[in-house]
Each structure stands twice: as C-alpha cells, then as structure tokens.
Amino acid sequence: MILVKLGGSVITDKSKPFTERRDVIKRLAEEIHSSMKDSRYNLIVGNGGGSYPHIPANKYQVHKGLKDANNFKGVALVQDAAARLNRLIVSALIDTNENVVSIQPSASILAKSSKIIEWNLKIIQEMLNLNLIPVVYGDVIIDIKQGYSIVSTEEIFFYLANNLDVKRIIIGSDVDGVIDKRLASEKKVDVITPSDRKWITSSISGAETIDVTGGMKTKVELLLTLAEEKGIESEILNATKPGLLELALKGKKGAGTIIRPN
Ligand SMILES: Nc1ncnc2c1ncn2[C@@H]1O[C@H](COP(=O)(O)OP(=O)(O)OP(=O)(O)O)[C@@H](O)[C@H]1O
Ligand SMILES: [Mg+2]
C-alpha cells in the first residue's frame, strides 16, 4: 500500500486565503488515476490544508488549544475549511472515475498534545478491501490535554503507517525535495537516513508561508522515525512539476528526496 500526500502548498496558493488551484488539483487527480491503469494497488490519499484551514487555525491559534472562548470559533472555521478543500480533491478524483471516499478525521480521531492516541482503522481497512480509495486530510481534532489541536496529514500518515501494512509514502510538495541550506547552491538532498537526523533537522526551517503544523521540519522528522522504526521508505518530491507524482506512484524513485532506513 502507498500513502500519497497532495501538499497544501501545491493544491492551494498558501500566500492568499482560500485560493485553491483547480487546474493543479485536476492534473494531480489524473496522475493518480493514470498510475493505476496498468496495475492497481492499495492507496490512501491525504490532502494538506494550504490556504484553507491554516488561515483560521493561525488567526484563532487553534493548534495551541482552547485558551479562550475565541478559539471555539476557530474550531468551527478550521473544521469547515478543511472539509471544503477535501471535497474538491474528492470531486476531482471521482471525475477521473476513481472510487474515492472522504474520511473526516475530526469525527473519529482522539489526540493528546497533538498526537493521535485513538483511531479505529477497521472502517478504512474494510474500504481498502473493497478497492475504495480513502482520502484523509489534516483537521482539527478533539485533544484530551488541550481541548482541541490541529493534526496534520503527516501525523495522520504516521498513525496509518504504524497500524496498517504501508510500503511507501510519497509527499507532493512545492519544492524539489529537502534543501540542504548549508550549501549556497540550495540543492535538494538525494537521500536522508536516520543517521542524518541531527544536521538535517537543524537545516530545515518550518514553512516560509503560513503553516501551523511545522512545515517541512515535522515532515522529515516523522518520516525519519518511520524509516528507523518501521523500515518504511518515503519520498518528498515536487508535485508542481507535471508527471513526477505519477512516475513515483508507478515505482520510479529519486525525483525528490528519499528518506529511508540506514
Ligand atoms: N530545508 C528545506 N527544504 C525544503 N523546504 C523547506 C526547507 N525549510 C523550509 N522549507 C519550507 O517547507 C515548505 C513545505 O512545507 P509546507 O508544510 O508549507 O507544505 P505542505 O505540506 O505542502 O503544505 P500543507 O501543510 O498545507 O499541506 C516549503 O514550501 C519550504 O518553504
Ligand atoms: Mg505542512
């Protein structure tokens, strides 16, 4: 099974509130569909929030929990924004003839300090058994420590990879991979393994745009942990470049940064 993320930085313009990129969403849905033509495989799609939920999440500081009554409005707005963007992804995939089903994380996940502690995956497993494609997304989640928190698509993938039989994770972003900021050339790193953890995480800032869940840094940290503890290989690639996602889904490696066990 593959987990694929359509990054919020790709499917929306993160510098402008509520601006989805419909042409890009359509292209990525078609790339996913084409990758299935020759041989079908189990797939879970996740979409990032981009300029939909990140905007109200940041305005009401929802990721920090329920500090005052104002945050409750943020919960409602984030939940709505995240679901609305997810429906656009779901519609685009249905238009390609893929049988996808939206999974609303806020209805079934329980978190503690932004980490998922409970999620019954039986339903998702049954959907996969029926050859349906679940589409998950970063969402605002009930948190037993702080009331509510924001759980990113990466955090959701982390839980799925720890509890289902996941072979590969592909993260579509708006950069060519993880950039080594120590170099003036700012070239992407080809391969990262757990022994690189120290220098790589200090070389990554969060996101340059608004991102309440830690941007590239959290992505790399979670994927390194999955490589180390579960032996799962991931790749972060540039999904704004047409065709790269499709090739990766078909098994081609190396267009972006590969994160794998030592
Ligand atoms: N060393 C680095 N290499 C690559 N990207 C980096 C680095 N440091 C910071 N970044 C930033 O991380 C961003 C990608 O993370 P971000 O979370 O914003 O995207 P996303 O996951 O597609 O969005 P979303 O969370 O909405 O799904 C890049 O656009 C870049 O600005
Ligand atoms: Mg992000």
DSSP per residue, 176-207? SS-B-TTSTT-PBPSEE-GGGHHHHHHH--S-
Distance in Å, CA 223 to ligand 1 centroid:
14
The ligand minimizing its distance to the Cα of 256 is: 1
- Report pLDDT for 182: 77
208 CB near ligand 1 (under 6 Å): yes
Strand pairing of 115-118 and 133-137?
A: unpaired
- Report pLDDT for 207: 59
- Report pLDDT for 2: 98
Ligand 1 atom closest to 236 (CA): 4
Pocket test for ligand 1, best of 151, 216, 217, 257 (most atoms within 8 A of CB): 216
172 CB near ligand 1 (under 6 Å): no
Question: Could you tell me the two tokens for 223?
Answer: 């994927």
Q: E strands of the chain, at which residues?
A: 2-6, 43-47, 100-102, 110-112, 115-118, 133-137, 139-143, 147-151, 168-173, 191-192, 233-238, 257-259
- As averages over each run of 10 residues, the pLDDT of the chain (262 residues) reads 97 95 98 96 97 91 81 94 98 98 98 96 98 97 94 97 98 94 83 92 70 83 97 98 98 98 93
- Report pLDDT for 209: 66
* Among 254, 196, 193, CA closest to 228: 193
Residue bearing the CA closest to ligand 1, atom 22:
7
209 CB near ligand 1 (under 6 Å): yes
Pocket test for ligand 1, best of 88, 137, 211, 240 (most atoms within 8 A of CB): 211
Q: Angle at the Cα of 52 (from 51 to 53), degrees rounded to 5? A: 110
Q: Which helix (H) or strand (E) holds 153?
A: helix 153-163
81 CB near ligand 1 (under 6 Å): no
The ligand minimizing its distance to the Cα of 210 is: 1
Give yes or no for a contact between 94 and 31, defined as CB atoms under 8 angstroms apart.
Answer: no
Dihedral sign (CA 114, 248, 98, 124): negative
Distance in Å, CA 130 to ligand 1 centroid:
34
Write down the pTM of the prediction: 0.95
* Among 243, 240, 247, CA closest to 175: 240
* Among 111, 131, 105, 113, CA closest to 43: 131
162 CB near ligand 1 (under 6 Å): no
Domains of the chain: 2-259 (3.40.1160.10)
Q: How far apart are CA 19 and CA 15, in angstroms?
A: 9
- Report pLDDT for 180: 84
Distance in Å, CA 173 to ligand 1 centroid:
7
